[in-house]
Structure 1
C-alpha cells in the first residue's frame, strides 16, 4: 500500500448525506492517485458511499422496486408470532418466556386444524422449524414452488380464520 493511504483516519462525523458526499469526494480524489491494487479497494469504498447516499436520500433501500409501505397485505402481516410457532413445534414445558399457555397452544392447533395435511406440514416446517423452502422440498420430495404454494395457501387460510374464528382472537 502506498503512503497516502496509511495516514490517520479522518473523522467525518455522523452518517449524514453530506458526510457521505465528503467521503465520496475524498475517495474519488484518492482513486485518481492510486495504483492498480488500491484502485480496486477504493472503487469498493466509492460504490459503498454511493449506495449509502442513495439510501439516505430516498429513505429506501437501493434496488428495491417497492417500499415496505407498498407491499401487499400478505407480505406485511405476521399471522403467527414466529417464537410462539417455534415453541409450539418444540412442545417445551420448561420455564422459558417463549413457552405457550394451554390457551395459546389451543389457538395454534385450531388454526392448523383447518389446513390440509400437506399445507400443515409445509407451514410447520417453514415457520416452526425455520427450514428453507428448498430444504422442505428436498425433505418432502416435491418442488420448491409447490412448497411455496402450500405455505401461501396456509397463510391465506389462517388469515381468513383470524377474521372469523372466536378461538383465534387474542
Structure 2
C-alpha cells in the first residue's frame, strides 16, 4: 500500500476518535458550566461533584487529543514522505523534544504536587515548586495555591480571601502567566 493511501486510511480511522473527542469536550464544557452555576447558587457539594467530572473529562480530552495530534503528525509524514516541519513541530529527536504541558496546572501537575502528594516529594522537588511560587506576589500565590493546589473553587477562594471574583481571576491570570513564562524558559534550558 502506498503512503498516501495508508495516510487516507489512517485519516478515516481518526473520524470516530474525533467524534468521541468532540463528545467528551462537550461534556467537559457542560460540567464546567454546571460548576459555575452551582457556585453561583452556593450549592458547594454539587459543584464539587461536577468539578470532579470536569477534571475527569478534561483528562480524557487531553489523552485523546494527544492521540489525535500524534496520528495527524504521522499522516502528514506519510502524505509528504518527509518529517513534518513548521510552527509547533520539533526538529529534535523524539527523546529530546520539549515536554508539552498545555494547562496552567503545569507546575503542580508536572511535579505531582497536589495537596495529597506534597509530603512525598523529595527536597529537590519541593525546592523547585517553591522557586516557582516564590516569584509570585503574596496574593497571587494565595489564589494560585488555593485553586490549583488545593482544588478550591473560584468562588470559595474569592470569599475566603475577601476579594471580588474579578480580582481573584486577575490574580490567578497573572500568577499563571508568570509560572508559564518561567516553566517555558526552564524547559528550554533543560534541553541544552
Give the TM-score normalised by structure 1: 0.48
The structure carrying a bigger helix percent of its residues is 2
Higher relative contact order (CA 8 A, sep 6+): 2
- Bigger Cα Rg: 1
